Amino acid sequence: MKTKYLIGGLVLVSTALAGCDDFINDNRSPITQEENSPTFWSAETNVIQECDRMKNFFDGYGYGGTTGTFYFSQLSDDQAGNAFKDWTFKNVPASGGYWTTGYKNLRHIMCIIDGVRGSYLDEKLKPKYEGIARLMRAYVFTELVKRYGDVTWLEKTVQVSSENILYGPRTSRDLVMDSVLRDLDYAVATIPASTAKDDWSRDLALAIKSDICLYEGTFCRYRTMAENGAAPNEERAKKFLQECANASKQIIDGNYTLSEDYRAAYNSVRADALKNPEIILTRTYDPVNSMHSTVSYTCSSTAVAGLSKDAFDAFLFSDGLPKGLTSMNTSDEGEVDAEGNYSIAKLLEVRDARLSSITDPIVYYKGMTWSRAGAMQMTSSTGYGVSKFDNITLPVSDRQNSAKNYTSCPLYYLSLIYCNYAEAKAELGTLSDADLNETLNKLYKRANLPMQTVAGLSSIADPANKWGVSNLIWEVRRCRRCELMMDKDYRYWDLIRWHQLDKLDNTKYPDIALGANVKNAPVKPTLMSGDYFSTYFGLNRIFEARHYLYPIPTEQLNLNPNMTQNDGWKGL
């Protein structure tokens, strides 16, 4: 028998390892200096503590100097940073990555599940805490499946004797996701309702279920054997899409309302975030113990990773029509204002109001700097700024100081659920005008756009729609993109599940590497393509089918001869 075992990079050292106890002693996680026993797990305060540590599985805005999945996840067509981010992997890594993190988190989860089941807790309490742990097991396994496809499913804590797991083949991703759905259903049934916006609740379980089921339903509809290793499965797609719609509707019919301020969910301090009527779960920060750096990256001397031309062009005009159909002035040329700044304020006035909440009214870059509400002079990688996460009412020193930001981060929120529900219903072919009135029309209203009907959206034949989907699906996806721009890496994973990852290839879609029209600017940027700011730094991001899945780390393959590498990464 091998004397070193690896499940997802989690090293189980020596044959003396028998379970959580030795893991705790060696790694001080998940429990710190406590005995893993029925006595420990029979104290509800200990169980709550270990459950709350799982909230750190949500990246949010990150902590201290670490970056989260808002703004910083720039492998998309929404942003073009200074380095124009390439594919996550170009070669097979030796070890680590999310495989390590995911299975380490699963170890924590399984300790909670097994601990609660074997504890002396009141039998009425056990389902609640097992439900919370199984909710997060569903979440973590989904993140693994999204990245790696087939993975090793864990039903119980791995022991040294569990050779069928340690040396077994990966489980089919479809079977894993079936188990994920069972975990989600258990969580919804057992986690109590709560109005707390920073704690576990039944609505949070429904929101996570909504997100996961939308991903699975659309992925199974659009996947291909050649690029995803499995053919489309309509029956499976409809099942998960309906599960998404059902979960979303329960939240929509609940006690949430859309905030009037689009940016409030992203830049409020803790007290205001906890009162925001559209928040389901927020990650709160405070100016003493828990801070992040997201705001500082959008209003300091560090160049902002600005919006791409492709993202800017995605926003509708105020008549509710896209750039290719509107009769309004579609020029994207700015003008020099009285202060000598290169202004696009007039362009923003006639567009979806979300655009002016996301970016700045001034185009700025090296040689044409600008300052937002007292901040130092700023530059942007594309000329377009990012104002969405900044709160100009807070002290400038707090906003600009890296790792000193304390605005709260929305993790699950009503506008996301509106987008999920509308898309699921549109994919099912059951989206109605009443559904639109409950969801997207509320987002359109907040964005100062005309209300829509299913027939109206279906009649918008945007010439930019070359994705092989209906006008209706295209417009529903557009609304999602604009609503969730730079949120939680959604855009990248949306392109994966829609089977449109090739849209991140800038040799085929050059607008994703371009920025603002600087034709009229008094100082031109160093790099331009025609009249547009260019982010090209000698790198072309060229799509290959293998990018739909991450490679399995070499260390895993060496330790388990029954584990195979993902297609496209073999031999690299």
Whichever domain contains 24, its CATH number is: 1.25.40.890
Q: How many helices (H) and strands (E) does the chain have?
A: 23, 10
Q: How far apart are CA 358 and CA 390, in angstroms?
A: 10
Number of Cα atoms under 13 Å in the Cβ half of residue 94? 0
Cβ(362)–Cβ(370) under 8 Å?
yes
Is position 173 within any domain?
A: yes
Q: Which of 239, 220, 233 is nearest to 182 (CA)?
A: 239
**482-494 pLDDT, tens per residue?**
999 999 999 999 9
13, pLDDT greater than 80? no
**Structural element, H or E, at residue 410:** strand 409-413
pLDDT at 168: 80
Q: Which residue, chain included where needed, has tokens 């549109």?
A: 426
Q: Are 367 and 383 in contact (CB under 8 A)?
A: no
Angle among Cα 412, 470, 477 to the nearest 5 degrees reads 20
Distances (CA, A) of 304 to 71, 360, 386, 398: 10, 11, 7, 17
User: Quick check: is 486 in a domain?
Assistant: no
Q: Quote the mean pLDDT of the chain.
A: 91
pTM for this one? 0.93
- pLDDT tens digits along 310-335: 999 999 999 999 999 999 999 999 99
Residue 159's pLDDT band (cuts 50, 70, 90): low
263-288: pLDDT as tens digits: 999 999 999 999 999 999 999 999 98
342: enclosing H helix or E strand: strand 342-343
Total domains in the fold of the chain? 1
Burial of residue 65, with CB atoms counted within 10 A of its CB: 0-12 exposed, 13-18 middle, 19 or more buried? exposed
Q: How confident is the model at residue 229 (pLDDT cuts 50, 70, 90)?
A: confident
CA distance 384 to 175: 44
Taking residues 557-568, report their average pLDDT. Answer: 90
User: pLDDT-derived band of residue 166, with 50, 70 and 90 as boundaries?
Assistant: low
- pLDDT, tens digit, for every residue of 99-116? 989 999 999 999 999 999
Is 90 exceeded by the pLDDT of residue 406? Answer: yes
Q: Does 21 map to a domain?
A: yes
Instruction: Give, in degrees to the nearest 5, the angle at Cα 130 between 124 and 133.
Output: 150
pLDDT at res. 392: 96
User: How far is Cα 327 from Cα 317, in angstroms, rounded to an integer?
Assistant: 9
Q: Is residue 39 part of a domain?
A: yes
Q: Dump pLDDT digits (tens) for 367-392.
A: 999 999 988 899 999 999 999 999 99
Q: State yes or no: pLDDT of 28 exceeds 60.
A: no
325 within domain boundaries: no
* Residue 153 domain flag: yes
Cis bond upstream, residue 30 (ω within 30): yes
Q: What does the pLDDT average to over 10-28?
A: 33
Range scoring the smallest mean pLDDT among 154-158, 169-173, 515-519: 154-158
Pick the residue with more confidence: 464 or 12? 464
Show the domain range for 114.
4-74+90-191
User: Is residue 292 in a domain?
Assistant: no
Q: Which residue has the higher pLDDT, 86 or 232?
A: 232
Judge whether 313 lies within some domain: no
